């Protein structure tokens, strides 16, 4: 510069060149044990792409990686007519996984919320704009130490005062991540949870290894058009636009702070570096991006980048530099909510929900129209220049806050050199001889990585978009044991996407490379449950967490990356086109003069993604009780080695072990994957579950829980003597258990033999209808108890966490529901023919009747609503409230309206109340809706947020004086579940001919409890005959019991209509489950229509 830099330049440089942003360790030169290495870590990851780039459309150059998808009929509104329609086009698949560890340790709710929000922005800012679709999340923390459930392996070692305890992280952070996903409208359908904190031997004594600095994982999958995969060139003069919320003094220095060991920086920096989230704003921004990409080749966006670490000080330079341009910016054009901020604070803060875009001057007016319609704030900050130079003018101080070459800021820095050595593994062998099997089972069932994770799952909306095929919950009893998450490509498709997670970090304390290989193996045995054409269709995101600089850890990291990038992935034919690293996984503090530290093991989290040939063929762990005999087979990829190092059993006895399981033979593994896919293709597999945490014991009992049945388990095929029982049951070697029909036994084993897998395949169990799980050896029972008993043990951790976090009464009711051994589970009892398309006669009768798919800012369930009505024969139109209020759109032309689900105005005024008030207090809007409601040829449906909104419009909707107000759920928590409802006799046009039907439906809301005005009650509403839906137990009885009634509404009430039946409101979501594949459980996977499709067809029939 040849001058002193400004504070703005210094702070910008610090963020842009932090380890977090520049990944210096992964690009470093390495010398290990005195021998120079010829490859960097990143070059070894890239090696996977050099070995197999087939189907990879974008790697290492954007916010996400992109792989080939399918040619599908994609559904979205026409930009000119606003009518929803199908467009046949190539729809490709993007993926990304991030971590947000440091902020989550400091302030769990906002830390995890902005972690999810930032990753969602990465997806939307891929290429020239794309669509986030489904998410995943994960957590690794130290021991929970729950007050009423302290475990024998848990000990209090202390923690730094500035970070939150593991227990509080897991009470708050998952809510933060779920809340952001919920409000944005992205289903979070995959995850993991690990606790680990253990004192281990070292060459100099001992140390504590664990996750005082937690891992908070956020990732997901999305879609984009083929013409938008790569970012466009940015011409000189292109306008550089900031889309999103205002600058605020939050998240300052986050990029640098997250690159340091927890506790080694100043406390003020730690707290200043945590951001805050506003998902409703991010939703508005995404709607703008959606309108742009839906224009196809007329997309005004040339390039887009999300604003993350370093704020716009990092995002804006990267946007133009990547295109070979520079820029001139005006600081005072940055929208700012804190006018006392200095130029450095305005430029470098990490306020969330912002994107930077390059747009040609000729498209600015079009872009501005889109932003105004979506009520998304934007500002033109400057323009691109030919020279790669950055200037930031400050009109207030009449100076240049920044004036530097981008080569100085973002050019290649000198490569870091790492000179490191290996540390010898000196852990003791884990001896299982004196372990009591009953005690072992009880401990394993309480270890969080094994135990029920319902408390992490039911808080997250897993049905929004109407494109979720398989989420965490499995079967009629909704047990969270799914191996992979699956989505469908579109509303007319059976193709889709799958994702899964693998991580085996405790093994790294024995063998770094083996832990990485096992993480890959686990991710693949999980995703094998989806119908995937070939192994090489799968790609990985690799997220590496390491305590860089800790003795032995750098060399171990190199070993792990080398085995992944140079050996295992090339041998399997799998590419790693995307990933992330976090190199500061250590907490240090001083406790009364004593220096303490807790260091995480090397933690590779592998997220697997793939295109799916047929989503209807997704396998689950639910054991099937059918009209013929079946058997369960163990496929043991460990070949009987039963290595116990790093296992859950070792952990619950306070040990590590010296010999770890491993992925020993990639050729055998490829045969295993091919075999599962082919047997699935032949319909030979009834149930599938991988072997992982907790070993074969956990695999089998989880399959039993999902199938609500007992198992007779015979160990003779895998044990020679009693001393082998514990290792055989609790080793965590790779493998899986499949259920087959006995009538298929010969054909299945013939194929297994053909694949050379016969020696590692064993008959292990038979399902039984009695409520008992029994383990036998040599005709002698070695462990037995009721399925109910084991299930309660497995669910106790979740219950205790739920009790601490939510309404304890509701937590107790859900926990006690496990005691009902005879629970029939979800079931379907309908009084009509599901396959009878009663709207078919009207399809070719000329112009389709029109329906306005109403949305307000923050609404996120409109597309699936439009798809349901379109399938029933309607012309569905995208109608934003701004169209009515600001542009005078008339409702006169519409036959119906559908008010959709979501979080209008972020529900800050109460659920749906802000939306209702925007109508009631606006003369033009109120007049439009009053006229619509009083016409006798119109109808309306309000679902979830739309239900809450319409209930607040009762004064202008005729015949609705009995409608309640909807308030916070009795559980005091957002509830996302699949529950049973009954259709009651009512005049509702939507439920004609459906009376008496009882069937499952998706619910997802935080304020669904019906509260009546003074002088009215649920009973009077029911007596009026205008209650159309109520929650029922799985036995079909009206219920107020949680979780079958997820919000506590009296008499189970959840749907009502007005007196003439034209207007119906309901909290559940029929628009998300109108296809069979959209249901978390369905009796016939191959059927196309689900029962709830009748609702929408009834509306079409009513029109004529």
DSSP letters along 774-812, please?
EEEETTEEEEEE-HHHHHHHHHHHHHHHHHHHS-HHHHH
Average pLDDT over residues 193-199: 98
> Quick one: pLDDT at residue 260?
54
Catalytic site residue from 92, 446, 880, 1069: 1069
> Quick one: pLDDT at residue 271?
60
Quote the CA–CA distance of 30 and 34 in Å, as a whole number: 10
> For the segment 17-47, what is each residue's pLDDT rounded down to a tens digit?
776 666 789 999 999 999 999 999 999 999 9
Average pLDDT over residues 825-841: 95
Mind giving me the DSSP string for 284-350?
A: HHHHHHHHHHTTGGG--EEEEEE--TTTHHHHHHHHHHTTT-EEEEEGGGS-BS-TT--HHHHHH--
Is the predicted pLDDT of residue 264 greater than 60, yes or no? no
Average pLDDT over residues 994-1010: 98
272 — pLDDT class (breaks 50, 70, 90): low
Tokens of 383: 């323009």
Q: Which position has the higher pLDDT, 255 or 656?
A: 656
Pair 471, 134: CB distance under 8 Å: no
Residues 6+ apart with CB under 8 A from 34: none
Direct distance between the N- and C-terminal alpha carbons of the chain, in angstroms, rounded to an integer: 76
Give domain 623-785's CATH superfamily: PurM-like C-terminal domain (3.90.650.10)
> Quick one: pLDDT at residue 1084?
80
Q: What residue segments make up the domains of the chain, in order of their start?
A: 38-418+456-612, 623-785, 840-1103
Backbone angles phi, psi at 266, to 5 degrees: -70, 150
- Coil, strand or helix at 994: coil
- Coil, strand or helix at 568: helix
Window from 37-51, 203-217, 249-263, 858-872 with minimum mean pLDDT: 249-263
274 — pLDDT class (breaks 50, 70, 90): confident
CATH class for the domain made up of 840-1103: alpha beta
- Coil, strand or helix at 482: coil
234: Cα separation from own chain's centroid: 33
Q: Taking the model in full, what pTM does it have?
A: 0.97
Tokens of 285: 């921004």
Quote the CA–CA distance of 674 and 664 in Å, as a whole number: 17
> Quick one: pLDDT at residue 1021?
87
- Coil, strand or helix at 828: coil
Window from 135-139, 288-292, 884-888 with minimum mean pLDDT: 884-888
Pair 749, 404: CB distance under 8 Å: no
Q: Token pair 């730094």 is at which residue?
A: 160
Tokens of 48: 């996977």
| Angle (nearest 5°) at CA 782 between 781 and 783 | 100
Average pLDDT over residues 161-187: 97
Tally of residues, the chain? 1104
Query: Helix 512-527 crosses helix 666-681 at what angle (to 10 degrees)?
Result: 10
Long-range CB pairs of 34-38 (<8 Å, 24+ gap) are 37/558
Is the predicted pLDDT of residue 194 greater than 80, yes or no? yes
Catalytic site residue from 172, 282, 732, 1071: 1071
Quote the CA–CA distance of 1098 and 1087 in Å, as a whole number: 20
> For the segment 106-120, what is each residue's pLDDT rounded down to a tens digit?
999 999 999 999 999
Query: Helix 553-562 crosses helix 41-51 at what angle (to 10 degrees)?
Result: 10
Tokens of 791: 């299930």
Is the predicted pLDDT of residue 265 greater than 60, yes or no? no
Window from 283-297, 338-352, 738-752, 936-950 with minimum mean pLDDT: 338-352
Is the predicted pLDDT of residue 270 greater than 90, yes or no? no
Is the predicted pLDDT of residue 266 greater than 70, yes or no? no
- Find the helix or strand (DSSP H, E) in which 1030 lies: strand 1027-1032
Quote the CA–CA distance of 607 and 520 in Å, as a whole number: 8
Average pLDDT over residues 70-95: 98
Quote the CA–CA distance of 912 and 904 in Å, as a whole number: 6
Neighbours of 156 (CB within 10 A): 10
Q: Token pair 């970012």 is at which residue?
A: 231
> For the segment 1013-1052, what is each residue's pLDDT rounded down to a tens digit?
866 777 888 889 999 999 999 999 999 999 999 999 999 9
Pair 5, 13: CB distance under 8 Å: yes
**Known catalytic residue: 23?**
no
Is the predicted pLDDT of residue 537 greater than 90, yes or no? yes
Average pLDDT over residues 70-79: 98
Share of the chain above pLDDT 90, in %: 92
Closest C-alpha to 250, from 132, 396, 376, 106: 106
Average pLDDT over residues 811-831: 97
> Quick one: pLDDT at residue 167?
98
Mean pLDDT of the chain: 96
Pair 388, 268: CB distance under 8 Å: no
Average pLDDT over residues 632-653: 99
Catalytic site residue from 91, 292, 709, 944: 944
**Known catalytic residue: 285?**
no
> Quick one: pLDDT at residue 843?
82
Q: Token pair 């949680």 is at which residue?
A: 1042
Quote the CA–CA distance of 999 and 676 in Å, as a whole number: 32
Quote the CA–CA distance of 465 and 455 in Å, as a whole number: 22
Is the predicted pLDDT of residue 323 greater than 90, yes or no? yes
863 — pLDDT class (breaks 50, 70, 90): very high
**Known catalytic residue: 1071?**
yes
Fold match between 623-785 and 840-1103? no
> For the segment 743-802, what is each residue's pLDDT rounded down to a tens digit?
999 999 999 999 999 999 999 999 999 999 999 999 999 999 999 999 999 999 999 999
- Dihedral sign, CA of 1026, 1031, 1034, 1035? negative
**403-434: buried (b, 16+ CB within 10 Å) or exposed (e) per residue?**
bbebeebbeeeeeeebebeeeebebeebebee
């Amino acid at each position: 510069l040849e001058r002193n830099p400004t504070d703005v330049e210094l702070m910008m440089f610090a963020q842009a060149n932090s380890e977090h942003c520049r990944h210096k360790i992964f690009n470093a030169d390495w010398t290990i044990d005195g021998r120079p290495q010829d490859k960097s870590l990143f070059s070894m990851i890239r090696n996977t792409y050099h070995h197999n780039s087939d189907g990879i459309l974008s790697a290492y150059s954007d916010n996400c990686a992109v792989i080939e998808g399918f040619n599908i009929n994609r559904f979205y509104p026409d930009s000119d007519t606003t009518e929803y329609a199908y467009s046949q086009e190539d729809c490709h698949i993007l993926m990304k996984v991030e971590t947000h560890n440091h902020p989550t340790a400091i302030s769990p709710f906002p830390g995890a919320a902005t972690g999810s929000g930032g990753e969602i922005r990465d997806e939307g800012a891929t290429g020239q704009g794309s669509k986030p679709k489904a998410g995943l999340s994960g957590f690794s923390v130290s021991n929970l130490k729950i007050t009423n459930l302290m475990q024998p392996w848990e000990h209090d070692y202390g923690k730094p005062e500035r970070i939150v305890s593991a227990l509080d992280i897991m009470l708050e952070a998952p809510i933060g991540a779920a809340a952001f996903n919920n409000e944005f409208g992205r289903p979070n359908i995959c995850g993991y949870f690990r606790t680990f904190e253990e004192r281990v031997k070292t060459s100099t004594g001992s140390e504590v290894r664990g996750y005082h600095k937690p891992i908070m994982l956020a990732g997901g999958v999305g879609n984009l058009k083929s013409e938008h995969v790569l970012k466009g060139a940015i011409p000189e003069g292109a306008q550089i636009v900031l889309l999103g919320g205002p600058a605020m003094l939050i998240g300052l220095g986050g990029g640098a702070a997250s690159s340091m060991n927890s506790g080694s920086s100043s406390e003020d920096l730690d707290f200043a570096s945590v951001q805050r989230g506003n998902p409703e704003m991010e939703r508005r921004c995404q709607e703008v991006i959606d309108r742009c990409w839906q224009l196809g080749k007329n997309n005004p966006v040339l390039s887009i980048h999300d604003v993350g670490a370093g704020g716009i000080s990092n995002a804006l330079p990267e946007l133009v530099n990547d295109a070979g341009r520079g820029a001139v910016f005006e600081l005072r054009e940055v929208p700012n909510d804190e006018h006392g901020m200095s130029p450095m604070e305005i430029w470098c803060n990490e306020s969330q929900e912002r994107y930077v875009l390059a747009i040609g001057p000729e498209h600015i007016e079009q872009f501005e129209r889109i932003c105004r319609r979506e009520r998304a704030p934007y500002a033109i900050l400057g323009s691109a220049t030919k020279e790669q130079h950055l200037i930031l003018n400050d009109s207030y101080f009449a100076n240049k806050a920044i004036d530097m070459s981008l080569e100085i800021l973002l050019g290649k820095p000198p490569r870091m050199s790492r000179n490191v050595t290996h540390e010898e593994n000196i852990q003791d062998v884990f001896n299982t001889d004196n372990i009591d099997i009953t005690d072992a089972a009880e401990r394993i069932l309480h270890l969080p990585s094994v135990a029920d994770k319902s408390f992490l799952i039911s808080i997250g909306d897993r049905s929004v978009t109407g494109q979720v095929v398989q989420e965490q919950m499995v079967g009629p009893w909704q047990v969270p044991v799914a191996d992979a998450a699956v989505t469908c490509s579109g509303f007319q498709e059976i193709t889709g996407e799958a994702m899964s997670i693998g991580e085996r970090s405790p093994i790294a304390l024995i063998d770094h490379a083996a832990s990485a290989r096992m993480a890959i193996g686990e991710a693949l045995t999980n995703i094998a449950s989806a119908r995937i054409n070939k192994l090489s269709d799968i790609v990985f995101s690799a997220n590496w967490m390491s305590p860089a600089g800790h003795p032995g850890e750098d060399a171990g990291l190199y070993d792990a990356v080398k085995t992944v990038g140079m050996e295992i992935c090339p041998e399997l034919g799998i590419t790693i086109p995307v990933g992330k690293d976090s190199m500061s996984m250590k907490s240090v503090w001083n406790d009364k003069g004593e220096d303490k530290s807790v260091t995480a093991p090397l933690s590779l989290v592998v997220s697997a993604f793939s295109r799916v040939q047929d989503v209807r063929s997704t396998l689950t762990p639910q054991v099937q009780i059918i009209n013929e005999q079946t058997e369960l087979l163990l496929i043991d990829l460990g070949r009987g080695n039963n290595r116990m190092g790093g296992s859950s059993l070792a952990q619950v006895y306070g040990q590590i072990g010296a010999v770890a399981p491993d992925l020993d033979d990639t050729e055998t593994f490829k045969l295993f994957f091919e075999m599962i896919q082919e047997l699935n293709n032949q319909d030979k597999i009834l149930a599938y579950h991988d072997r992982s945490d907790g070993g074969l014991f956990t695999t089998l009992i989880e399959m039993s829980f999902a199938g609500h049945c007992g198992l007779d388990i015979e160990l003779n095929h895998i044990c020679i003597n009693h001393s082998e029982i514990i290792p055989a049951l609790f080793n965590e070697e790779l493998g899986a258990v499949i259920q087959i029909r006995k009538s298929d036994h010969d054909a299945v084993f013939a194929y297994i033999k053909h694949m050379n897998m016969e020696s590692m395949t064993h008959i292990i169990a038979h399902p039984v209808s009695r409520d008992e799980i029994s383990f036998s050896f040599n005709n002698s029972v070695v462990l037995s108890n009721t399925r109910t008993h084991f299930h309660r043990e497995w669910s106790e951790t979740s219950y205790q966490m739920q009790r601490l976090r939510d309404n304890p009464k509701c937590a107790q009711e859900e926990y006690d529901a496990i005691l009902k051994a005879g629970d029939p589970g979800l079931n379907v009892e309908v009084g009509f023919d599901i396959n009878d398309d009663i709207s078919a006669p009207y399809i070719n009768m000329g112009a389709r009747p029109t329906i306005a798919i109403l949305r307000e800012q923050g609404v996120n369930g409109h597309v699936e609503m439009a798809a349901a009505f379109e399938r029933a024969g309607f012309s569905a139109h995208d109608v934003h409230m701004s169209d009515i209020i600001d542009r005078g759109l008339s409702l006169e032309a519409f036959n119906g309206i559908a008010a959709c689900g979501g979080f209008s105005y972020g529900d800050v005024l109460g659920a749906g109340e802000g939306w209702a008030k925007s109508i009631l207090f606006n003369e033009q809007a109120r007049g439009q809706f009053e006229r619509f409601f009083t016409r006798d040829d119109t109808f309306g449906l309000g679902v979830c947020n739309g239900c809450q909104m319409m209930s607040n419009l009762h004064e202008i909707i005729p015949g609705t004086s009995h409608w309640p107000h909807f308030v916070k759920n009795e559980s005091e928590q957002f509830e996302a579940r699949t529950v049973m409802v009954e259709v009651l006799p009512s005049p509702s046009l939507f439920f004609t001919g459906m009376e008496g039907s009882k069937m499952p439906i998706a619910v997802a809301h935080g304020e669904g409890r019906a509260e009546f005005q003074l002088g009215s009650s649920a009973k009077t509403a029911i007596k009026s005959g205008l209650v159309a839906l109520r929650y029922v137990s799985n036995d079909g009885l009206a219920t107020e019991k949680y979780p079958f009634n997820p919000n506590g509404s009296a008499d189970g009430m959840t749907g009502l209509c007005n007196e003439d039946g034209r207007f119906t409101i309901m909290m559940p979501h029929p628009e998300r489950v109108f296809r069979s594949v959209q249901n978390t459980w369905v009796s016939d996977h191959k059927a196309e229509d689900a029962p709830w499709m009748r609702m929408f067809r009834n509306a079409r029939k009513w029109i004529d």
